[in-house]
Amino acid sequence: MKSDLFEADHELFGETVRGFVERHVVPKMEKWDSDRLIDRETWLAAGEQGLLGLSVPEEYGGPGETDYRFRVVIQSEIARVGASALQSGFSTNDDIVLNYLLRHADSDQRRRWLPGFVTGETIGAIAMTEPAAGSDLRSIQTTAVPDGDGWVINGSKTFITSGILADLVIVFAVTDRGAGSRGFSLFVVEDGTPGFSRGRKLDKVGLHAQDTAELFFDNVRVPAANVLGELGGGFGYLMQSLPLERLGIGVAAQVSAEAVMDWTLGYVRERRAFGKHIGEFQAVGFTLADLQTSVEVSRAYIDRCVREFNAGTLTAVDAAKAKLSATELQGRVIDAGVQLHGGYGYMMEYPVAKAYIDARIQRIYGGTNEIMKEIIHRDLLRS
């Protein structure tokens, strides 16, 4: 069953994205993996093609396109070639960092920061996780203390996506330890600010081309103009933005699963063993039938979540379900894909092998899948 999510405009946009991927992504993927970094020229090329900052209002240089289906198109086309690291970088910029700015930045901050998200000149990061505080964000130790007409930030963050290249970082910090959930605020730290430094580029299992870093804040002084939103609103802002982040992860998992199914079907139709194509064996056929059914059923739920997000009605619980179910399915599909490719599935020149190591993080970041289950569980008890 084919998805009915897209209309003619989305299909036309998909042709533009496909052309960009063929020209600027496929030829560079091996180099990105060896460099463990995606070059800035690719970001600028994406900006020129109109692929970044879709939701930025026209007055700040963007198209003002709030239909999330266009973001799904971008993710789908990138997934077709297995460029998961690029997808992760683009999603961090558009679904996370830009989402915070659009929700909470004042007019001056919008003028300063939004145009670069459209052109590809600005790469953003969000710094929440710390060495001793992952899913439990209330345990963070990074502090921001008032100092004259500004704030002084001290602390460290880790596992920060785009941490090496980031031009601006949204930092989640404690501003009042005794205020409970109202004791956290968001600050924008810009590249070059004294005391702000980047640690090592972390050596990850997968997503090698996606730069992930440690960040350090040693008496980093930021002006009051770099406070994002209201003081004390940080924790609430995180809760508001998590549905889109988790929807983005769910969409990425879905389109990855679909791509791996296509690669695997192509392989089993061509590969022969014992005198016939391996796809003709019943054991293989039953596995593929089960997975394809699951992929199509999952797509229906993801499509519904995208429509709900467009309508402004996607709940945090439904986004958690999307993230949980799609990433678990992605893991099953990729594991089966590796198995059905046989020894070649373990060779890195085959995209299914790269997908295998790239996808494992999907069940961890954006809130572990155990946290997703807890969110869903609590909602069930309230019903």
Tell me the C-alpha distance between 311 and 69, whole Å.
Answer: 12
Tell me the C-alpha distance between 256 and 83, whole Å.
Answer: 10
Q: How many residues does the chain have?
A: 383
Annotated catalytic residue within 65, 77, 245, 308: 245
Task: Tell me the backbone φ, ψ of residue 2, rounded to 5 degrees.
Answer: -80, 140
| Contact between residue 264 and residue 352 where contact means Cβ atoms under 8 Å apart | yes
Helix residue ranges per DSSP H, the chain: 8-20, 29-35, 40-48, 69-80, 84-91, 98-104, 107-119, 234-270, 282-311, 316-340, 351-359, 369-382
Which of these, 74, 156, 60, 77, lies nearest to 116 by C-alpha position?
A: 60
245 is catalytic: yes
Which of these, 104, 200, 101, 223, lies nearest to 153 by C-alpha position?
A: 223
Task: Tell me the backbone φ, ψ of residue 173, rounded to 5 degrees.
Answer: -140, 155
Within 10 A of 2 (CB to CB), how many other CB atoms are there? 7
Residue 156, judged by CB atoms within 10 A of its CB (0-12, 13-18, 19+), counts as middle
Which active-site residues does the annotation give?
245
